[in-house]
Every structure is written in C-alpha cells, then in structure tokens.
Amino acid sequence: MQAVILAAGMGKRLGEYTKNNTKCMVPVNGTPLIDRVLLQLSKISLNRVVIVVGYEGKKLMDYLGAEKNGLKIEYVNNPVYDRTNNIYSLALAKDKLIEDDTLLIESDLIFDDGMFKMLIDNPHPNLALVAKYENWMDGTMVRIDEDKNIINFVPKAAFRYSDVDQYYKTVNIYKFSKEFSRTKYVPFLDAYTKAVGNNEYYENVLRVITFLNSHDLKALPITNEKWYEIDDKQDLDIAEALFADEKDVLRKYYGRYGGFWRFPKMLDYCYLVNPYFNESRIIDEMEAFFRTLISEYPSGMKVNSLIASKCWGVKEEYIIPGNGAAELIKALMELLPGTLGITRPTFEEYPNRRESDNLVTFVPQNADFRYTADDLMKFFGKNHADNILLINPDNPSGNFIPVDDVLRLAAWCQEQSIRLIVDESFVDFSIGFENNTLLHDNILEKYPQLVVMKSISKSYGVPGIRLGILCSADTAIIAKMKKMVSIWNINSFAEYFMQIFTKYEKDYKGACEKFIAEREDFEKKLKEISFLRVMSSQANYFLCEILPPKNANQLVLTMLKKYNILVRDCSDKKGFDGKQYMRIAVRSHEDNAKFIQAFRELDNK
C-alpha cells in the first residue's frame, strides 16, 4: 500500500500563515500538519508516500527530503497550481495510483491517530471516510444507503439545508484499491478532465462513478474520532483547541469564552443557561422572522428602553437594556465612585473592572461559603464600602438570600448611604422565583440607592442574542449609563425577543419550574458520587469540592478527553485558598444523565 498526499494548493484563506509557506507546513500547536500525518503514516506498513507539490513546493521538498520517519517519499510537481484545482494535482499522479493500493489524503487535515487503521482494517477495498454533517462543515457532502454505499456526491451548488439530516461530510481521506484506480477512477478522471477541464475537484469524478449506480465505493462513517479541516484562521484556532496538549487544553477552551457551537458534540457544563425555555415557540417565531431581523437596523435606546419597560414591568426611565449584562457591568463599574464591597468567591467580572485597592472583600468563614444579609451588614458595618455587590443567588457558591432579607439589607444600605448592587441573573432558578425578584417600581422607588442587574442570557437561555438589563429609581445614573453605551447597543434579535416575550411568559414560568425539578434530581445523583462534596444551590449550577484522591484539574481534563464534556475547574478562584473545586452547570435531563454516567464510571475506577 502507498499514500498519496495532495499538497499543491496555496491556502490563501490562511492569510499570513501561508504567505511564504505551503499549507501543510502550517503548525498546529507547534507541529506542522505534514509532520503529524507522516508520523501517523509511519505506524502502518507503506511502500512509499507520494506528495503532489506546487505552491512553495521546493521549500516542502527541501524540508522533508526523500525519507522521513522511515517512509520513502516521492514527489510529483504541479507547475500550474495557481490555475488548476486538486483534480489536476491528482491527475498528475495517476500513474502512481494504478501501481498500488492507495490511501488518498488531503494535506490540510488534522485527525486522530486511529483513522488510518480504520481504513486498513476494513475489508472493503474502496472506502471514503465520512462524518455525519455538523454545522461547521463545508465542501463535498455525500448520501449513503443502509449498506453504506455512497449513492450520491453533493457538491456545494446542490447543497440544501433542508436535507442536512441525510448528509455526511467527506473527511477527504480515501482508500482506493489498485484495481479500482486502474479500471474505474483513472479512466473516468481522464475523460472528465478532457471534457470539463482542470479547474475542478477530484470528488466530481467519484460523483460520476456513483451516478452509474456503481457500488464500488463505500462509506466508512466515523463516530467519536476527532478531525478538522483547516481552511482559514478560525479553523486553525479551533484545531489548536481540539488537539491541544494536556497542559494547554483547558486554557485554549476556557479562553474562548463561548462559541462552543463550533464543537457540536461537546457538552458544555461551564456556561450557565436555562436548558428548557428555548424549547418554547418563542424561538420558532424568531426563526420565522429571521430574514427581516438580519436585514433591518434595530431601534435606538429610547424605543428599546420602552420595550424593556413593558417586558419587565418597570418604568422606562428606570431601565436600560444592554448588549448582555457584561456591557452594563462595565459601564456601571466605570461610573460608580469609591470602594466596592464584594463577597468571594464570586463572579469576577465586577471586581475585574475595579482597581484591586478599591475592593473591600468579605470571605465567609465556613466550608460551604454560606452567608446571610446579617453577615454582610456586620462585616461592612466594620469595613466600610461605598458600594456593595450582592450576587443572588451567588456565583459560584449558589448561596441565596431570601427577598425579605435582601430588602432589609437594602434599607440598611440606604441608612448608611451605601449603594447596593444586586445581580439577580440567577434568581429565576430559585424556589418561589416569581416572588423573589426586585424588579418592581415600588421596591426601586423605596430604595433609590438600589441597582438591580439581570442577565437575560442566563435564565432565559438565549445567550446568543446578547441581552441584559439594569434597573434603578436613581434616574440620574440610568440617564448617564444610557449616554455611555452606543445608540444601537442591542441587535434586532434582542429587540424582537423583548417585543414578543410577554406572549410566552407562561412558557417561561413552566420552563423555570421544570428546571427546578431537574436540579433537585441532578443534586441527588451528584451526591451519590464519592469524590464530590456537593453544596446546595438555588441557581443553575452546583459548587462541588473535589475530594482526595481526585484532583479537579485532572478530572476536568479526563471529562473533556474521554467524554467530550467541558466542566469548570474553579480551584484558582480567589477565596478558595488552594482547595479543589468544580462548578457543574445544570442542563437538560438527557445531558445530565450522560454527565452522571461519566462520573459514575470515574467513581468506580
């Protein structure tokens, strides 16, 4: 058997990475793609490797030479790489194809080590590795029948989003027998290039062969194997996360701060959203209006303040909508003078926006990081802060102060001329949530020093639309903040969500009730895991201490590598004093069952 690697292309979409470099020389986590694939090929028995070169071909040949990792390397040059496509590169190597059974590989791929063995061990002589369609995939798709015969190649022009459940993406790794190349592929390749030209793709020849009702080529679907095709800078960034070394993998994932829809098989237990409200018909209505929303400007601040006022039942002059709570947190922290009192461990977005010497920090002196309104009044009565932050329920501890006690704290702050900031982004996950919010005109007016923040992403399960609100009867601070943000600070999708939400309030309440029941069930199952000490929570996550001999960092790595589940290691958060902690989000019942199964397997080991 031999391998043929197509490496003639210019890789223009990679920009500066391929300015003076062929695509397969681009490093992923420090290792060039060509080095990785040749190392993988060296672990199987091959007679030779044939590389079709073109752009910066001499540089690649000088780098590899005639032998690498015990592999004999031969080269075929495509001198017109800038005017042809990969069908011509493969046509230049057609004499090589008919000399031996062949693994055909495109050089811009990165994949798990076991892929070649899958092909070689399979008894079918002619195979295409394929993967079930996911939304990040681009290029040639195929349809397969129940016997894994490829019945059609679907080029980009014929792609239909309505048919994606039937599509598989070609991984661009094939196994061709010498007989298939000699009697089928090469003759059709010659005929196709003569009829259509050289600026085409070699898959088009396979498409013609399948049109003739040939069952020569079968599909070999992969399952959990990792692979990625690197066409541009974003692909490179994602590949570096997928194939990161153990010491770097969490940094590369955590540093993305979202965007995990590009990793569709991964279960994300870091980010905290309602798993049930997006099942409501509100999403169907937004989807039906998608083309209008994406083609039109959103309204300005005045209109969106009015809509937000209607949506959350407070006066227009008391509310400001934001591009997520993050925009409002930044503006508020820049606006408020003096010191900020915080409770740690906490959501660090607030203190990160302040100078460290302007922070007054309270750390609960108990194992579960529980605290009450009285604890806050006692501490800040002795350690004055001009502003006090209360995240309720707290993140990551899940600590919750009942609304009557929050109002006592608000009254005390009023007496002390202290501004109280209450972030109630998770309050709708608390038991009795309908009565736990502070978003009422009479409460805001009674305590004008009170500021209430709410991230709509969290409890409503719509982080993609980027929406948050801030409310206060201190109209001066609301007016100042409205001047600080841009006039179009939220997009049309967020505006439309607010516009139609009141029609779906019953769905929302039902989703919150369903969530509370699921959290209770999930908590019981988590408490059965021997290496966890689970702290009670009124939010949509649990803070868990990781008990010896388990280590939080290693546990998170194992969950990601073995089960494709991403969890937050909180051990380095300020306030934890070096102990091992993990924050585990609450997702749907189906997802939570997978999580518990993974933890039980690790527990049994």
* DSSP codes of every residue in 12-41: GGGGGGGSSS-GGG-EETTEEHHHHHHHHH
pLDDT score for 264: 78
Q: Of 167, 199, 231, which closes a domain?
A: 231
| Residue 597 and residue 496 in one domain | no
Torsion angles phi and psi, residue 408, rounded to 5? -65, -40
State the Cα–Cα distance between residues 280 and 57, nearest whole angstrom. Answer: 55
Last-in-domain residue among 503, 533, 561 = 503
- Local confidence band at 522 (pLDDT 50, 70, 90 cut-offs): very high
227 and 244 in a single domain? The answer is no
Which residues contact residue 403 at a Cβ distance below 8 angstroms, ignoring those fewer than 6 apart?
Answer: 435, 436, 437, 438
> Given pLDDT bands bounded at 50, 70 and 90, which one contains residue 181?
very high
pLDDT at 157: 84
Residue 231 has pLDDT above 80, yes or no: yes
Question: What DSSP string runs through 142-164?
Answer: EEE-TT-BEEEEE-GGG--GGGG
Intra-chain end-to-end CA distance of the chain, in Å: 41
Q: Is 491 helix (H, G, I), strand (E, B) or coil?
A: coil
Name the token pair of 91. Answer: 């046509």
pLDDT of residue 363: 96
Name the pLDDT band for 133 (thresholds 50, 70, 90). very high
Is the domain of 418 the same as that of 560?
Answer: no
| DSSP-assigned letter for residue 553 | H
Q: For residues 423 and 596, what is the distance between their CA atoms, to the nearest angstrom?
A: 30
Query: Among 1-15, 212-226, 405-419, whose mean pLDDT is lowest?
Result: 212-226
Distance of alpha carbon 243 from alpha carbon 322, whole angstroms: 36
Whether residue 360 sits in one domain with residue 250: no
Angle at 199 between CA 3 and CA 83, to 5 degrees: 95
> Which of 118-132, 251-265, 370-384, 496-510 comes out lowest in average pLDDT?
251-265
pLDDT of residue 42: 96
pLDDT in tens, 86-103: 999 999 999 999 999 999
Q: Are 148 and 258 members of one domain?
A: no
How far is Cα 402 from Cα 398, in angstroms, rounded to an integer? 13
518 shares its domain with 587: yes
pLDDT in tens, 537-584: 999 999 999 999 999 999 999 999 999 999 999 998 888 887 899 999
Mean pLDDT of the chain: 94
Is residue 142 within 8 A of residue 168, CB to CB? The reply is yes
User: What are the b/e assignments for 51-75, b being 16+ CB within 10 Å?
Assistant: bbbbbbbeebeeebeeebeebebeb
CATH value at residue 64: 3.90.550.10
- Please write the tens of the pLDDT for every residue from 343-364: 999 999 999 999 999 999 999 9
Whether the predicted pLDDT of 177 surpasses 90: yes
pLDDT for position 552? 94
Residues 206 and 301 in one domain: no
Check the CA dihedral 231-234-236-242 and report its sign.
Answer: negative
pLDDT in tens, 441-483: 999 999 999 999 999 988 899 999 999 999 999 999 999 999 9
* pLDDT reading at 214 higher than 80: no
Bridge partners of 72, per DSSP, are: 67
pLDDT at 458: 87
Contact between 217 and 197 (Cβ < 8 Å)? no
CATH code of residue 571: 3.90.1150.10
Q: Quick one: pLDDT at residue 569?
A: 93
Q: Report the predicted TM-score, pTM, of the whole model to 2 decimal places.
A: 0.87
Token duo for residue 210: 């399948």
Query: Which residue type does 593 have?
Result: A
pLDDT at 507 over 80: yes
Last residue of a domain, one of 450, 468, 503: 503
| Structural domain that includes position 123 | 2-231
Q: In this structure, are 343 and 259 located in the same domain? A: no
DSSP class of residue 245?
-
Residue 116 main-chain phi, psi, to 5 deg = -65, -40
One domain, residues 378 and 444: yes
C-alpha gyration radius of the chain:
29
245 and 287 together in one domain: no
Q: Are 489 and 323 in contact (CB under 8 A)?
A: yes
Q: Which residues contact 289 (CB under 8 A, 6 or more apart)?
A: 496
Determine the average pLDDT of the residues in 221-234: 92
In tens, the pLDDT along 28-62 reads: 999 999 999 999 999 999 999 999 999 999 999 99
In the predicted model, is pLDDT for residue 415 greater than 90? yes
In one letter, which amino acid is 5? I
Number of domains in the chain: 3
- Identify the DSSP state of 279: G
253 and 355 together in one domain: no
- 3 state SS of 463: helix
pLDDT at 374 over 90: yes
Do 464 and 523 reside in the same domain of the chain?
no
Please report, for the domain that includes residue 485, its CATH number.
3.40.640.10
Element (H, E) at 594: helix 589-604
CA pair distance 554, 531, nearest whole angstrom = 13
> For residue 510, with 0-12 CB atoms within 10 Å meaning exposed, 13-18 middle and 19 or more buried, which class applies?
middle
213: pLDDT strictly greater than 90: no
